[in-house]
Amino acid sequence: MKRRSVLLGVTGSIAAYKAAELARELSRHGVEVRVMMTPAATRFVSPLTFEALLASPVVTDMFDSGPAGPIPHVSLAADADVVLIAPATADCIARIVHGLADDIISCTAMASECPLIVAPAMHENMYRSAATQANIAVLQERGAVVVGPDSGDLASGGRGAGRMSPVETIIGVTMKTLGRHSDLAGRTIIVTAGGTQEFIDPVRCITNRSSGKMGYAIAEASRDRGASVVLVTAPASLTPPSGIEVVRITSAQEMFEATQTAVQHAQALIMAAAVADYRPTGLSPHKIKKQGQEMLTIQLAPTIDILGSIQGSFVKVGFAAESTELECNAEAKLTAKNLDLIVANDITATDAGFGSESNRVIIIDRQGTFDRTPLLSKREVADRILDRVVQLLS
Ligand code: CTP
């Protein structure tokens, strides 16, 4: 499959140094990144920085007959799946809006037919000026995606709007835009992740070892394949992927309510969360004090079975993390919870599962087909699961 390609245009703003990180992160997401820079941008960051990070030449001159060919703006435009200008100065935005094609970036942006994403970065007064506001409005009317800018400390010393959006935000928008024509475009997928917490008193809770990594990987992969994603997450020490809706919950009951609401307009529910099966019957309003050597008994009541309770016309995928009789237990859960697929993993494996970066799973369907994966990254496992969801949706 051809790697998706982003043509990154870097213009002359102090935020140009962040474009190096952006280019590297996009490349880490499996995207082919080509870079073009205006002469002003090269005064902030050297083209060599991008060339070293990406092992690919940077185009700075529209008359450069280098590897991009004798007419670089046409060949670069034809090869790109997305043109991303980050940072985009007021001048660059104005040039594109008014058709002033006399530098490599404005020229290529105008020659391309693929989606255009623009991340403005400039002083607040320039951003708020009537000219820039009007130009940005025109860009949006013409279908461009404008990301940010954010508010905060500005290079000039003041505070205000004008900072380029964080790299993760721009990555999220770019990956979602690249997914516009992928196999989950137009679909809404609900993903749950992490280990729920059931509080005993204000400082103590019952939880489990789930890191949330598998669910977060499924959410990211769904976004990259064009889906609108709602991630219902229990507390986790991970940053959720950008470009998705995140609903933070704590207990099993809260996860049930958030998931039931989110799934109303969804085509698939993937429950990767490790949900507590029991909760303390009463929450102590004060910290429970130690009482010598006496035994302490905490009474537990069952929580709601979320997957078992939520029914509807969407694809339902569960997980079965088992330490014994993996296949048999997983099949029983597939039937009991009325699932389309169950993803079984053996939690006794030392190289996969809880907290690990990788996983080895068996995807079981209603027909009793067992699809066994080798040890893969959680992102690769996520894509295998989504391949099956796509089949079920079509
Ligand atoms: N699950 C759920 N609600 C619960 C418990 C689990 O929706 N209260 C979901 C999990 O997110 C997972 C699937 O059900 O997708 C199986 O979870 P698991 O903990 O393996 O199974 P349980 O049904 O809790 O059974 P047991 O703990 O006895 O193995």
C-alpha–C-alpha distance, residues 364 and 345, integer Å: 11
CA 75 to centroid of ligand 1, rounded, Å: 52
Residue 95, token pair as written in the block: 């040039």
Task: Please tell me the pTM assigned to this model.
Answer: 0.89
The separation between CA 149 and the C-alpha centre of its own chain, rounded to angstroms, equals 20
Residues 279-337 pLDDT 10s: 999 889 999 998 887 888 999 999 999 999 999 999 999 999 998 999 999 999 999 99
CA 305 – ligand 1 centroid, Å:
7
Q: Is the dihedral of CA 222, 226, 230, 235 positive or negative?
A: positive
> What's the confidence (pLDDT) of residue 155?
75
Rounded CA separation 168/148 (Å): 12
The whole-chain average pLDDT of the chain stands at 92
Whether 1 has a pLDDT exceeding 60, the answer reads no
Ligand 1 atom closest to residue 318's alpha carbon, by position in its atom list: 15
Helices of type H across the chain: 16-28, 39-44, 47-54, 72-79, 90-98, 104-111, 124-128, 130-141, 167-178, 213-224, 252-262, 306-309, 326-336, 378-393
Residue 266 has pLDDT above 90, yes or no: yes
- 33 vs 50: CA distance, rounded Å: 10
pLDDT at 393: 96
* Residue ranges covered by each domain of the chain: 5-178, 183-393
For residues 327 and 307, what is the distance between their CA atoms, to the nearest angstrom? Answer: 19
Instruction: Quote the pLDDT of residue 75.
Output: 75
- The pLDDT-based confidence of 154 (bands split at 50, 70, 90) is confident
**CA 232/CA 250 separation, integer angstroms:** 10
d(C-alpha 122, C-alpha 111), whole Å: 25
Give pLDDT, residue 160.
83
Q: Count the helix, strand and coil residues of the chain and give each as a percent rounded to the nearest 5.
A: 35, 25, 40
Residue 6's pLDDT band (cuts 50, 70, 90): very high
Give pLDDT, residue 70. Answer: 62
Does the domain at 5-178 match CATH 3.40.430.10? Answer given as no
Fold match, 5-178 / 183-393: yes
66-118 tens-digit pLDDT: 666 666 777 787 888 999 999 999 999 999 999 998 888 998 899 899 999 99
pLDDT of the residue at 190: 98
Where are the alpha helices (H) located in 225-284, listed in sequence order? 252-262
Using DSSP, how many helices (H) and how many strands (E) does the chain show?
Answer: 14, 22
Segment 194-203 shows an average pLDDT of: 96
Query: Using CA positions, which residue lies closest to atom 27 of ligand 1?
Result: 277
In which band, very low, low, confident or very high, does the pLDDT at 49 lie, cut at 50, 70 and 90? very high
pLDDT at position 65: 64
CATH entry 3.50.50.60 includes domain 183-393: no
**In the prediction, which pLDDT does 353 show?**
66
H or E stretch covering 158: none
Segment 52-73 mean pLDDT: 79
- Say which residues have a Cβ less than 8 Å from residue 280's Cβ, sequence separation at least 6: 198, 199, 200, 206, 298, 299, 300, 301
In this predicted structure, what is the pLDDT of residue 170? 96
Task: Using the mean position of ligand 1's atoms as its centre, give its distance from the Cα of residue 333 in Å.
Answer: 8
Residues having CB within 6 Å of any atom of ligand 1: 252, 271, 273, 275, 277, 303, 305-307, 318-321, 333
Amino acid identity, residue 132? T
